[in-house]
A and B are shown apart, each in its own frame.
Chain A
Amino acid sequence: MKDKYVYALLWASTIVTAMILIFILGFVVLKGSSALSVEFLIDIPRRGGEAGGIFPAILGTFYLVIIALVVAVPLGVGGALYLVEFQKENIITKIIRFGADTLNAIPSIIFGLFGFAFLVYYLKLGVCILSGGVTLAFMVLPTILRTSEEALRAVPGWDKEGSYALGATKLQTIKNIVLPQSLSGIITGIVLSIGRAAGETAPIIFTAAILNPVLPESVFDPTMSLPSHLYTLVSESTPEKLVNAYGTALVLIILVLITTYSAMLFRKYFTRHVRR
């Protein structure tokens, strides 16, 4: 086959893929922008989501993500620190990696099932932000662990050796040299996890979500959330609810756009210096 035909085909595939994205984004933006207004973001849903806004859902998602990060970031970054700074490659590191990789592959509904059985019932936490947030934390933990590990490994050896040579202890070296230099990579992973945690429905639908717009007052309260609210609106789509559904989807998409774009920015900003 002639090269130019192949080229055309490959160009076409790529353009088709790009078109798909543009179509989906455009669809949501176009339909959703009519719903988007300041009231929409500040008001609570009324009449079962046909009118009013989505503030409780936004707040709920915010809290859920915070809890998820509070749990997952120390575990993930700490774990990565251990892998890079404290342990040589051996059976323990293999176990750690295996756990993280396996956890990464688990479907979101299994997380939901597990969160329900373990957090809601076994630990008797009930349906609340804590249950939902911790379930989400388990979901994003592998990502944070892997990203942090990569970022930590990228710190050049001679920087650390220099620090030791000056008499610093391991902890001091970590605090002053390793962490600051790898922070951008770690942040990238965290930012991407935010996007993922905010958008997942299955893990929180049994562990944190309620239907009526009551604002949570503590981590032991349940809450609305953007993805579960969107699911409700979509499956019950009357024309009025559909408009709000688009609005909710738009808010989620904007969130994804922000997190994806910021992650890319972080990466670019710190690629200036390339050391071999």
Chain B
Amino acid sequence: MKTEKIVEKILLIFALSATLVIFLIIIFLFKEGLPILKKEGLGFILGKIWNPGKEIYGALTFIVGSLSVTFLALLIAVPLGVSCALFLAEIAPKRAESLFRPVIELLAGIPSVVYGMFGLIVIVRFIKVSFDVPTGETVLACSIVLAVMILPIIISVSEDAIKSVPRIYKEGSFALGATHWQTMKRVILPTASSGITASIILAMGRAIGETMAVVLVLGNVEMIPKSLLNPAEALTSVILLEMGEAPVGGTHYQALFAVGIILFIIVMILNIISMKIGVRKK
């Protein structure tokens, strides 16, 4: 019995490791970033000017950049993704379904640098040529790439939600004479809406946190984009691009950690919302 107790204690520590890491991350993020936030206050979030040379740090540009590409990506991916989910759950023949499943998994598995490469070489070029803009590195390009990256999340979680709609509801609707589409529109989608919303929230979290694809395609311009065809910069990109430079412990370093805090908080809020909406079906 003694060995069992020891093993149990060890395994408990292992199990708590994830939580421990979270705490460490929070500690390190806040240890470095909080002083700057305190000093700049609300100005950090609302300030438009980011000038490490003059020690002015305002992250609004990047917040707008990240949010705009995320929302546009959702605009593209949600209709497409939910349609696919409906297809898979409701009308796909068995063969098609098993053929399509690897498609989603592969799309989800492709590394973000590869998406970035594809985005830079194909989509950026395409936009430059089709829209006759000075550069194709734009909000639009980034949103398209992000949309493809978040499609798998939306499809799989929405599909799960749709499949969880009790058959009784569907059968009842058919019994009352509704067509398949009417059933989908009036019964299935509303019932599955919480799951679908959860998938959207998850997708948002992923899009906001994406780094490599965004930094290659968005242009990294320290300006709030005025249109879809303007370049911009995201919270993740500024950390990636400037992290190398900042002297450890200096204000620039702290400011980048502060950006990390903002990112962390946004993602955490989204995470909690999605958990509340009940992604886990158990």
Contacts and interface: CB of A to CB of B under 8 A. Distances in A.
Nearest to B234: A109
A13 B80 contact: yes
Interface stretch (B14-22, B36-44, B49-57): B14-22
Nearest to A114: B25
A86 B83 contact: no
A107 B211 contact: yes
Looking at chain B, what size class is its interface with the partner chain?
Answer: 35 or more
A163 interface: no
Contacts of A75: 14, 17-18
B87 A14 contact: yes
Nearest to B90: A10
B120 to A, nearest CB: 6
A171 B10 CA distance: 13
A27 B243 contact: no
A49 to B, nearest CB: 14
B133 interface: no
A107 B81 CA distance: 22
A245 B91 CA distance: 40
Contact of A253 (B84, B114, B248): B114
Nearest to B28: A117
Interface of B is mostly: helix
A230 B28 contact: no
Nearest to B27: A118
Given A7-B91, A13-B80, A79-B11, A103 B18 contact: yes
Contacts of B3: 171
Nearest to A134: B21
Nearest to A116: B243
Contacts of A227: 111, 113, 212
Interface in B182-216: 184, 205, 208-212, 216
Interface string B1-16: 1011001101110111
A40 to B, nearest CB: 17
A25 interface: yes
A38 interface: no
A86 B11 contact: yes
B105, B113, B205: most-surrounded residue (chain A CB, <10 A) = B113
A21 B103 contact: yes
B15 A202 contact: no
B211 A108 contact: yes
A110 B260 contact: yes
A105 to B, nearest CB: 4
A14 B239 contact: no
Contact of A206 (B22, B121, B243): B243
B151 interface: yes
A17 B80 contact: yes
A100 interface: yes
Nearest to B184: A6
A170 interface: yes
22 contacts: A6-B184, A7-B180, A10-B87, A10-B90, A10-B91, A11-B91, A14-B87, A14-B92, A24-B148, A75-B17, A79-B16, A82-B14, A82-B15, A98-B19, A102-B271, A106-B264, A107-B211, A110-B25, A110-B264, A113-B256, A227-B111, A261-B102
